[in-house]
Each structure stands twice: as structure tokens, then as C-alpha cells.
Amino acid sequence: MFRKRFLILTIFLVYGFMELQGQNLNEKEVDPIFKHAVGAGAGFTTGYGLSYRFSASKYAFQLNFAPYHDKELDRYSIGLTFLYTLIKNKITSLYLYQGNHYYYNSQIIDFYNPNNPDPVKQRVTSNYINNGIGFGIEIIIAKRIGLNLMGGYAFYRNFKDLNLTGETALFYKF
């Protein structure tokens, strides 16, 4: 009885994987037509801001950058993400990603003392690194536009916390 169930389960699994593989295109057909892409991205491990992505065959890297500066605040988000394509077809791609995000924040804060009517201004600075890994899917919306949704696990604030993460990006390819 066990052998019969095992055989039936194996046949269904093999058939299912064959169907999935049938959805893939030949490697020659899925080499990136457009190797460069620009857009916007946001994520805990990929960083946020303006984005650039370079794709070469199955490997790609992505840079995110968002600077902000005024008289009381300096804030920078810099992200570097590595991608490896697992499955690619005409309208979707499944890939692994590894994201690295450096965040810097420095601002002037007013501290109040009940005994002193004048506030004391003090600059407070914080910076940290988030690092994560997970799976992503790219959905081709138009010939040159791709929407990326990513999810996985991440270490937050210099590897102090471990939790789920989510990332997204929208790219124009050329």
C-alpha cells in the first residue's frame, strides 16, 4: 500500500515539474534584451530611492540611492543588491536576491528642561546596516517596464534583529 501511494505521489510530482519546466523558454530566448534599467525601489534590505540595475545573463546587481540634506537633517539610504535568475519566461521571472542597505540619519533635536526655559539643541546621529536574502518575482508590465516584488528574511540594525522583509521596485529597461 505504501509503495503504491509513493509511486502515485512521485508520478504527480514528476509530471508537475515537467509542466513547470515546459513554461520556461530556451536560454537563448531569455538572455536580457535590455541589460540596463532605471527606476525607483524601496525595501528594508535593498534601500530606497532612485535605482539602477545591470543584468548580464542570469546575474544582476541593483543600486539604490536616496540623499536628503537640509539645515537640520542629513539622511542617506544606499542599497546594493545581488540577483540570480532561477526561472525566466516571457512575462515573469523568479530570482534569488541578497540585499545590503546602509542607512545614515543625523538631525538636530531640541531638548527641553523644565528648569531652563530655553531648549538645548543637540545633533543626534544614527546609522546601521540591514542585510537580507529571499526570493523575488519580476512581472513584465510592458516591453520595457518591470515590476519587482521581493520577500525573505533580514537582519536589521547591524544584525541585532531577524525578521521578515519586503521589497519592491519599478524599472524602465533600455
Parse the chain into domains and list their residue ranges: 27-173
Please state which of the four CATH numbers 2.40.160.20, 3.40.640.10, 3.20.20.70, 1.10.645.10 is assigned to the domain occupying 27-173. Answer: 2.40.160.20
How many angstroms separate the most distant Cα atoms in the chain?
Answer: 84
> How many C-beta atoms surround the C-beta of residue 48 within 10 A?
21
For residue 104, give the nearest of 160, 153, 48, 154 by alpha carbon.
48
Per-10-residue mean pLDDT for the chain, 174 residues long?
55 55 50 89 98 96 97 97 96 97 96 87 96 98 96 97 97 97
